[in-house]
C-alpha cells in the first residue's frame, strides 16, 4: 500500500473511508452544520442519532454533493476530495444513498428494477442494447438473495410491501457495488419483523461496505450499533457505544429524555 503524502511530504493518510473536518453550512444565516468533524473506518457500520433538525440529513447532503458547505474538509478515502465533485460524479465514485421514501419503479418487476440500476451509468444508447454478462447475472442473483427477494423476482415492485420496497431500493444500490452506503431512516414505517430483517441485512453488509445509518428507532440501533454518534445543533455532541451515549447527561437532555 502506498503512503499518501501532502506537498511537504508529510504522511496524511488517515486510513478512513470518510473524513469530515470543521464543516460549516448556513441556510439564510442559520447554522445547520456547525464545525462538524466526524470520520468512519473502512467496513464500519456507524449509527447517527440526534433530535429533529440536528443536521443529520444535511450532513448526508454534503457528503453526496447535494449541498456544498461554506467551509471545511470532506474526504472519501485519503485521496478523494469530495468537495471537488458534483452529485452524479460522487455516486460514480462509490457512494450510494438511500432516501427515506422508496423510489423504485412500481410498474417494473423486482428483477427489472435491479437490472435498470445496473444500467444507470451507461448512456441511453448503450442501455437500449444492454445485455447482462454472466458476472452481472451472478451479481444480481447474489443481491436478490442478500435482500431476501429471490422469491419475488418476477413480481411487480408496486405489489411489494413497504419493507420489501425498501430492500429493493437497497438492492438497487448494492448492484452498483458502493464502498460507502448512506441510509437515512431506513426502517421508518416498517413492521417489527421487517425491521429485524433489515438489522440482519445491515449486519451482513458491514465489512464488505462501510455504512452510515441515521435512525430514530433505538431498538434497531441497539441491534446493529458499534459506535454511535450523537449529532445536535450541527455538530457532534457525543460518541461511543450506545450504552455510553445513553448514559451521557447532555444526550439525555437534548434527545433521549424527551
Residue ranges in contact with Mg ion by CB under 5 A: 56-57
Radius of gyration from C-alpha coordinates of the chain: 19
Number of residues lying near ligand ATP (CB under 6 A): 10
Q: Which of 5, 22, 26, 27 binds ligand ATP (CB under 6 A)?
A: 27
Nearest residue relative to Mg ion (C-beta):
57
Residue (16 or 56) nearer to ligand ATP, CB: 56
Q: Lay out the site mask for ligand ATP across 41-60 (x = CB under 6 A, - = otherwise).
A: ---------x-xxxxxxx--
Q: Does 189 bind ligand ATP (CB under 6 A)?
A: no
Task: Select from 140, 209, 214, 219 the least CA-distant residue to 184.
Answer: 214
Q: Least distance from C-beta 98 to Mg ion, angstroms?
A: 12
Q: Least distance from C-beta 247 to ligand ATP, angstroms?
A: 22
Alpha helix segments (H runs only) across the chain: 56-63, 87-93, 110-119, 124-128, 134-146, 162-174, 192-205, 218-224, 242-246, 249-251
CB 250, CB 238: distance < 8 Å:
yes
- Residue 224 neighbours by CB under 8 Å, 6+ apart: 45, 47, 199, 202, 203, 213
Q: Least distance from C-beta 163 to ligand ATP, angstroms?
A: 20
User: What residues pair up with 66 in beta bridges, in sequence order?
Assistant: none
Residue (50 or 94) nearer to ligand ATP, CB: 50
Q: Least distance from C-beta 56 to Mg ion, angstroms?
A: 5
Amino acid at each position: 500500500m502506498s503512503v499518501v503524502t501532502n506537498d511537504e511530504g508529510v504522511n496524511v493518510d488517515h486510513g478512513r473511508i470518510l473524513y469530515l473536518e470543521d464543516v460549516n453550512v448556513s441556510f439564510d444565516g442559520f447554522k445547520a452544520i456547525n464545525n462538524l468533524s466526524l470520520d468512519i473506518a473502512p467496513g464500519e457500520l456507524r449509527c447517527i442519532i440526534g433530535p429533529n433538525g440536528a443536521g443529520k440529513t444535511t450532513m448526508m447532503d454534503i457528503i453526496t454533493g447535494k449541498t456544498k458547505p461554506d467551509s471545511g474538509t470532506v474526504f472519501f478515502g485519503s485521496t478523494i476530495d469530495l468537495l471537488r465533485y458534483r452529485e452524479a460524479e460522487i455516486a460514480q465514485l462509490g457512494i450510494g444513498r438511500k432516501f427515506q421514501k422508496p423510489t423504485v419503479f412500481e410498474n417494473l418487476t423486482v428483477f427489472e428494477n435491479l437490472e435498470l440500476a445496473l444500467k444507470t451509468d451507461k448512456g441511453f444508447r448503450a442501455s437500449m442494447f444492454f445485455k447482462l454478462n454472466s458476472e452481472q447475472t451472478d451479481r444480481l442473483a447474489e443481491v436478490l438473495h442478500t435482500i431476501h427477494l429471490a422469491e419475488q423476482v418476477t413480481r411487480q415492485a408496486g405489489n411489494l410491501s413497504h419493507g420489501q420496497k425498501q430492500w429493493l431500493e437497497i438492492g438497487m444500490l448494492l448492484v452498483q457495488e458502493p464502498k460507502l452506503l448512506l441510509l437515512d431512516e431506513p426502517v421508518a414505517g416498517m413492521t417489527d419483523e421487517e425491521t429485524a430483517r433489515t438489522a440482519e441485512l445491515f449486519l451482513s453488509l458491514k465489512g464488505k461496505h462501510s455504512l452510515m445509518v441515521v435512525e430514530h428507532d433505538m431498538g434497531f440501533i441497539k441491534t446493529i450499533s458499534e459506535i454511535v454518534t450523537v449529532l445536535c445543533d450541527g455538530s457532534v455532541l457525543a460518541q461511543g457505544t450506545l450504552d455510553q451515549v445513553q448514559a451521557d447527561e447532555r444526550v439525555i437532555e437534548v434527545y433521549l429524555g424527551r
